[in-house]
Amino acid sequence: MKRNTVEPSPAITLPISRRERKHRATRQAIFQTAIRMFSEQGFDVPTIDEIAAAADIGKGTFYNYFASKEEILVAFMVDVEAKVVKRLARFAEAHGSLEKILCDYVRYQFRLKRPYFAFVQVFLATLILHAQQMENHIIQMQEHIDPPLHALFTRLKERNLIKASADVQVLTDNFKYIHFGASCVWAMTGPSTEAATKAFSMQIAPFIKSIERKIP
């Protein structure tokens, strides 16, 4: 006897309201204005009053979207990681060696950040010079950075590219340290990613050797 099946309804995309469009546009204006000012003047110089004036909004409106200047740094990382997540499956299922997959993953992140190179220089300097002040915000960033890496390393373990005994959180933490080092090289050597990618490849080699599953 043939069973009746119910086809799932297609997802319905509701139109964005005028109010929501205005909300997004205002937030983006603040975000882009702050990034431009940080890129030109550094993080410490522009005040919230000056950012609000440059974005043609009131100071109160700024606080409706961001609680502080530091939150704009967090928002930048959140935006980058959201784009990484969209491409995550491609890296997780990619052919080639473990080294190639991880290097391609980092190259993609460099490509995303390259249009904001001057801002990334300020961003990294702020994280290093104001580490204590930024502690809570750095924790917020990790909440967005870690999940994609967890998913990537979990899938690479399932594909037997990484030892089954490897701890995903340890993999994530070690990878972040290496990536951060390569990012600092990039910030010091210029928008071209060649030197940074080479530095990453050199630093990642011992890491890969320790976690890569050897096929008999």
Q: What is the pLDDT of residues 142-179, one digit of tens each?
A: 999 999 999 999 999 999 999 999 999 999 999 999 99
Q: CA 108, CA 81: separation in Å to the nearest integer?
A: 11
Q: pLDDT band for 139, please (50, 70, 90 cuts).
A: very high
Q: What is the pLDDT of residues 35-81, one digit of tens each?
A: 999 999 999 999 999 999 999 999 999 999 999 999 999 999 999 99
Question: In order of start, what are the domains of the chain with their CATH numbers?
Answer: 18-66 (1.10.10.60), 69-211 (1.10.357.10)
pLDDT score of 193:
86
State the DSSP code for 120. Answer: H
The set of residues, in sequence order, having a beta carbon less than 8 Å from that of 211 and lying 6+ positions away, is 98, 162, 163, 166, 171
Q: pLDDT band for 215, please (50, 70, 90 cuts).
A: low
The set of residues, in sequence order, having a beta carbon less than 8 Å from that of 102 and lying 6+ positions away, is 175, 204, 208
